Amino acid sequence: MTKAGAARKTTGVAKAARAAKTARAPKLPKSVAGAVKAAQDKKATDIVVLDLRKAGGFTDYFVICTGQNPRQINAIADAVEDTLRKDFGERPALAEGIHKSEWILIDYFNFVVHIFSPDCRSFYGLERLWGNAERHEFADEG
């Protein structure tokens, strides 16, 4: 195979990989995607979005992630609130758990952000409770 042929083949493989990645990327509301990005920027792990629209939930989406310690959990919560306020003009209706920093819940009506410590996330198991919801996982940014 010539160099040009190999280059075309490599380019085609790269395009196919990008197309497959794009096809798998969930179509989420911009504010939900903004919350995910803010959590990723603060190195949250195990980020999952549950689409509750067909699961009979009281909200449309849960954004669930894990912070490794109270300081990181608070930093993730602050980043989510700052990003949504600055970029989308959204303010939470309710924020709970800030003082204990084991589970911070930020309610934006159409979606709720849950930031857990590893032990608290395992104990409450929201993903198991809402097992019938469509699940979107996000790779940990490294």
User: Domains of the chain (ranges plus CATH)?
Assistant: 26-138 (3.30.460.10)
Segments of 1-142 assigned E as strands: 45-51, 61-66, 94-96, 103-107, 111-116, 134-138
pLDDT digit string (tens) for the chain, length 142 residues? 554 444 444 445 444 444 334 335 568 999 999 999 999 999 999 999 999 998 887 899 999 999 999 999 999 999 999 999 999 999 999 999 988 889 999 999 999 999 999 999 999 999 888 888 889 999 887 6
What residues pair up with 64 in beta bridges, in sequence order? Answer: 48, 114
> pTM, whole model, 2 decimals?
0.80
Instruction: Please choose, from the candidates 60, 63, 37, 39, the residue with its C-alpha nearest in 3D space to the C-alpha of residue 49.
Output: 63
